[in-house]
Structure 1
Amino acid sequence: MPLTEFDRETKKGSGLPRWRAALHFHSVAASKAGLLIKSDGQWHVTEEGQKVASMSDDELRRLMRSRYGEWRWGNPKVKPDAVVPGTVDEASPPDTSVLFEHAKEKAREEIDTYLDTLGGYEFQDLVAALLEGMGYATNVISKPGADGGSDILAYIDPLGAQTPHIRVQVKHRDQAVSREDVAALRGIIRGDREIGLFVSSGGFTKEARREAGNGAVHMELVDLDRFLELWLQHYDKIPEAKRSKLRLEPVYFLAP
């Protein structure tokens, strides 16, 4: 949408354009109303959010105002003197809150941009490094060419004497993994001694997640959010040479 000079004006406190600061602030009401999920710098519209997207501006504003009041004061009737995000007469957004949200988004954007530069086999190596950091031995990693349906085999012990083994399939920056992809991995798993792990930076369709929950063989699905969460959780145990391929450093903010 076109931005006016007022919209593009830099706010003194945060140093951000007014439109960006306002966008973060307005999103609070939608988030508290259950229409939007904001996590690690990424915004996702919920199923309910998609359903109400056809509402008029006034109807949507009333809905968010009511939901916000319910969350804020435990009563759907908003206090008359209250400032509710999403209304046209709101005060200027707090700079600390805006900067906090902006920093999270910027950090995730940089991580995603870096991962986009990696090839499929480079991302596969990161997955293997993570498994090593989690205490597994990974002695079979597929090279370019046919992989027989799986990319990594991970073992509880170096010799693979203990079970279960983990048969891993990795997809990087492709379209979301389908039900057929998950079923194909399940089809080559030896149920008496293996479980399945599917790691996809492109995510999974709803049908794929449903397929993973069916059948007797355990199947674990890991999307990019979950991968990064595990990478940070086991970061100190990942071998240094491999950790350097995705070096992350925590930065602490006083949360608004």
Structure 2
Amino acid sequence: MAEITRRRTGEFLRELFSILLAAPEGLRASEALQVLASRVTLSPYEADSYESGGRRFEKIVRFATVDCVKAGWLVKDKGIWSITDEGRAAHAALVDPEAFYKRACKLYAEWKAAQPDAEAPAAAGPAVAGGADDVGSNAKAVSVTFEMAEEEAWAEISRYLQGMNPYEFQHLVADLLRAMSYHVSWVSPPGKDGGVDIQAWPDALGTRLPRIKVQVKRQQQAVSVEGLRSFMAVLGDDDVGLFVCTGGFTKDAEAEARTQEKRRINLINLKKLFDLWDEHYDKLTDQARRRLPLRSISFLAPGG
């Protein structure tokens, strides 16, 4: 039976890291794997597909990235993979593919041994056990299954929100604020809004500060620092600003918001908006839930 060696797995991982290092904001896992496949020559065994779907190559790489995550080299967030500073340093220091992967496996084993339910250590990784064919016998299989399901779910949710009518999306944000116990006193109708789409207060009478001013942008591109400053210009001394944008914010805009001394401003990207929606879902009205209905599905908790 064909096997995937540690060196071969390390080659995959080092090339994957090179791809991700060129994308500081991270890449979707599917996109990163597609680019990786175009940069390496797959053997017939690696390129072969499972009856259940998916190439063996992709399962091998996903399996090996579990070690990298627990090593602190790689972060996975709703299907977006990005390299940490520790991962950047490891990639620069461990140029030998086998040494690179072995170090990740060692760090994974150390993490696993430190868990309360730690068991006797098993043979590490697909390198010694025939690659992804043995994933099912390892706790890492649960992590891989879970992350692939999360990626697919998030991709669908993201597309749904990105395609929502802008004014419907604006009302979704207002519904969320109500579920968070804020009183929404005004939602901008279609047309010019003067830079404020929603206004809310901590109390129904508007007697308690701060007043909350919200700008909502349903767009693909990230908000620049100039766009952020335009919104901050409409904030008074007693206001808190919430800037919601599906396209996120540039690094400069994030730094500007973080270092503000006179203006209180919170930036909410698509991921944070969804997390808040999920967190407060039980407090949403039935009408609000229809804007973004969710249903929980149970998975075996990842332990690897």
Q: TM-score, normalised by structure 1?
A: 0.82
Q: CA RMSD in A?
A: 2.7
Structure having the larger proportion of residues in helix: 2
8 Å CA contact retained: 1:11, 1:18: yes
Structure 1 match to 2:225: 179
Aligned match of 2:181: 135
Q: Residues 113, 4 of structure 1: CA spacing in aligned structure 2 closer, same or farther, 3 A cutoff?
A: farther
Query: Which 5+ residue runs of structure 1 have no aligned equivalent?
Result: 75-80
Q: Does the Cα contact within 8 Å between 1:197 and 1:219 map onto a contact in 2? A: yes
Equivalent position to 1:20, from 58, 63, 69: 58
Q: Match for residue 254 of structure 2?
A: 209
Which residue in the other structure is 2:286 paired with?
240
Matched, 1:153 2:186: no
Give the secondary-structure state (helix, strand or coil) at the position aligned to 2:296: coil
Alignment of 1:50-129 (within 5 A): 50=88, 56=95, 58=97, 60-61=100-101, 63-73=103-113, 83-85=123-125, 88-90=127-129, 91=131, 92-94=134-136, 95-129=141-175
> Counterparts of 1:15 and 1:244 in 2: how far apart (Å)?
33
Residue 78 (structure 1) aligns with? none
Task: Please tell me the residue identity of whatever aligns with 1:189.
Answer: L
Residues 24, 101 of structure 1: 8 Å contact kept: no
- TM-score, scaled relative to structure 2: 0.71
Q: 2:74 aligns with which of 25, 36, 44?
A: 36
What amino acid sits opposite 1:21 in the alignment?
K
> Relative to structure 1, is the Cα distance of residues 112 and 9 closer, same or farther in structure 2, using a 3 angstrom cutoff?
same
Residue 6 of structure 1, aligned match among 38, 45, 53: 45
Distance 1:99 1:70 in 2: 23
The 2-side partners of 1:248 and 1:127 are apart by: 16
CA shift, 1:146, in A, is: 2.5
Shift of 1:240: 1.2
Q: Report the secondary structure of 1:246's partner residue.
A: coil
The number of residues matched between the two structures is 247
Between the two structures, name the one with larger relative contact order (CA 8 Å, sep ≥ 6).
Answer: 2
Q: Which runs of 5+ in 2 are unaligned?
A: 1-36, 115-120
Distance 1:68 1:60 in 2: 13
Deviation at 1:159, TM superposition (A): 3.1
- Inter-partner Cα distance in structure 1 for 2:294 and 2:84: 29
> Is contact 1:197–1:220 with CA below 8 Å preserved after alignment?
yes
SS of 1:93's equivalent in the other structure is: helix
1:189-228 residue CA offsets vs partner (Å, 9 max, x unmatched): 1113x11111122122222222112213321121222111
Asked whether the 8 Å contact 2:162–2:246 carries over to 1, the reply is no
Q: Give the fraction of aligned pairs with identical amino acids, expressed as a percent.
A: 38
Q: For the residues of structure 2 that align with 1:240 and 1:151, how far apart are their CA atoms? A: 23
The 10-residue stretch of structure 1 (202-211 or 14-23) with the greater mean CA deviation from structure 2: 14-23
Is contact 1:29-1:84 (8 Å) kept? no
| Preserved contact between residue 158 and residue 270 of structure 2 (Cα < 8 Å) | no
In structure 2, the residue matched to 1:46 is: 84
